[in-house]
Amino acid sequence: MFDEPSFNEFSRPYDSIVLDAAGYGKNVLHTCGAYAHPERFNDYPVDGISWDTKAEGNPGLEAAVTATKVGGVDHALFAANDIAQIQQQASEALRQMKDQPFILAPNCAIPLSVTDEALVQLKKSVFEGEIRV
């Protein structure tokens, strides 16, 4: 929601405090919502970056980010239990990211009402992708 100068003044210094405190193990940063600008975090000490690749104003998986990309499937599909679309988006993401570091996941938090069937389909997409990609 910030322009870049405001982001650098009001977010970056406080992000650094949190990231320094969480500097052990592996870290994945999630930048939430529309116009998330995941490329602004290229110099952050994180191993992965997650953003909503389907939200307005956000880049897709082609974004120029340096950390491992995490996402690829619209989280709203899990609320709707749209099994066919989950499978389609997962397959597309796996094809697009072939031979690149990538973690297939919903683009944001999934709703509590998600069905087991939807989660199983996401898992199946990974194993099917190993064969088809």
Number of domains present in the structure of the chain: 1
Q: Does some domain include residue 6?
A: no
Top pLDDT among 34 and 24 is at 34
Taking 70 as the threshold, does the pLDDT of residue 130 lie above it?
Answer: no
Distance CA 72, CA 51 (A): 9
Residue 128 clears pLDDT 80, i.e. is over it: no
Q: What angle do CA 21, 26, 31 make, to 5 degrees?
A: 75
41 contacts 20 by C-beta, under 8 angstroms: no
Domain of residue 69 covers 27-132
Partners of 106 in the beta sheet?
Answer: 73
**Domain for residue 16, yes or no?**
no
In a domain, 41, yes or no: yes
22 in a domain, yes or no? no
Is 19 within the bounds of a domain?
no
Tokens (6 digits) for 90: 């997962």
Residue type, position 22, single letter? A
Banded pLDDT at 110 (limits 50, 70, 90): confident
Mean per-residue pLDDT, 34-40: 94
What's the rounded mean pLDDT across residues 93-105?
94
Residue 4 falls within a domain, yes or no?
A: no
- Quote the pTM value: 0.87
DSSP 38: G
**Is the C-alpha dihedral spanning 66, 55, 125, 46 positive or negative?**
positive
Q: Is 113 domain-assigned? A: yes
| 102 in any annotated domain | yes
